[in-house]
Amino acid sequence: MKRFFLVGVLVLVAFVVGGFFAAREVASDVSETPSFSVGRGAAAGLSPADIFNLGPVVAIPCAGLGLAATGDCLGGTGGPQDNVDALSYGMDFTVAARSGNWLFFSVGPGSTGLPGWGTAVRREASCVPAEPQADEFASAAKGTNSQYYDGNGVACDGNAGGPIGLAEAPAPGDNLDALDEFPVPQIHYGGGGGPGMVWFSLDPASPSLPALGLNPPATAGDILLALVGGGPPGAPTRWAQLGALGLQAGDDIDALCIHEGASPTEQYRPGTDQVWLSLAPGSPTLGPPNNWSAADILQAAAVAGQPPTRVVTAGQLGLNATDNLDALKCLVKIGVGGIAELPDVAGASAGEAGASAGGSGWSAGGYAALAGGLAAAVVALSAGAWYARRRFSRS
């Protein structure tokens, strides 16, 4: 009986230690580092056509997206450079929400957020100069938001997020205008090795749009796809034309979340691939009869050519209808009891919806539940052995 008790204790220790390292492994799969791009006119010579990690450090240069052959990566021609103003690695909605926050975003210059202490956007907008456009915010879509990263890391009016490495003065400062969760090299092609798939859109002034030679010509309402890291980059292709997303001529996608359904392809599949987006101010789809806001989040219809639907309002994010949400990343919404709720991820199994970025098929919550259950079983087994040993010794 003593030997049985000792074995139980050793197994318990093994699970505790193993659970610790498993949690570390899962945490390393789930990036805490934003991957982002900036708007035109950024400080320190940051290119609006590059994709950065914290620092900022260039993660994917303009040329790596295949834009060197079609646009202006260096700004040396006197004309406008390309501007990546929406970004996704096709793996949105695959990581469990943190502390209830499942939508992460940034806003354009001039955005003020709803009044009240519960909106970090409003507090950042009250600084001198106003600086919410360089920050990343988090929301559970319940009318409030909090600061997740700060542009320069200097606390302002109660906010104290870690630094992204962007300038917030002189006004208007840098504008974080494209965002996702997984920095290189965690982007995947078909869920495995090979070149990474990078989805993005370009703003209307980007010279690459007409130079891609597509018929009809590419627009700011299209979603482009670049294959990165598998050899010399080719020009990006058009993954989704605006009409297939339910958008209109003149629309400008400036925030984007994509979840590729099973067996990823290089063409958009309505009803299989999940697409959430926000549109820039002035986009026709925002006008009558919809009367939507540039701070609303829309979902492309499951049937090609059908109009999009509004899935999250500006107010739910703690924003005004006059604000501009111009960068977005989406996690899995976790409801009561740890159950994944909306959004319904098209083409994703329950396992996919909870999978970590590392593709292990388990979320951090899944590992925690498994480790906790096993540890509890071992504790109960050991306690029972100890109790039985005491009764046996007394008899």
Flag whether pLDDT at 145 surpasses 90: yes
Whole-structure pTM over 0.75, yes or no?
yes
Mean pLDDT of all residues in 368-378: 40
Flag whether pLDDT at 356 surpasses 90: no
Mean pLDDT of all residues in 191-195: 56
> What percent of the chain shows pLDDT beyond 70?
71
Per-chain mean pLDDT for the chain: 79
Flag whether pLDDT at 16 surpasses 90: no
> What is the pLDDT at residue 32?
60
Range with top average pLDDT, 76-85, 201-210, 231-240, 364-373: 201-210
Q: Token digits for 26?
A: 């899962």
Q: Which residues have CB under 8 Å from 260's CB, separation 6+?
A: 90, 91, 197, 273, 347
Locate the domains of the chain by residue range: 2-24+365-394, 34-355
> What is the pLDDT at residue 348?
44
Helices and strands in the chain: count of H runs, count of E runs: 5, 17
Q: Token digits for 281?
A: 């101010």
> What is the pLDDT at residue 336?
63
313-318, long-range: CB < 8 A, 24+ apart: 315/114, 315/143, 316/139, 316/141, 316/142, 316/143, 317/103, 317/105, 317/139, 317/141, 317/145, 318/113, 318/114, 318/118, 318/119, 318/120, 318/121, 318/122, 318/139, 318/143, 318/144, 318/145
Mean pLDDT of all residues in 118-125: 92
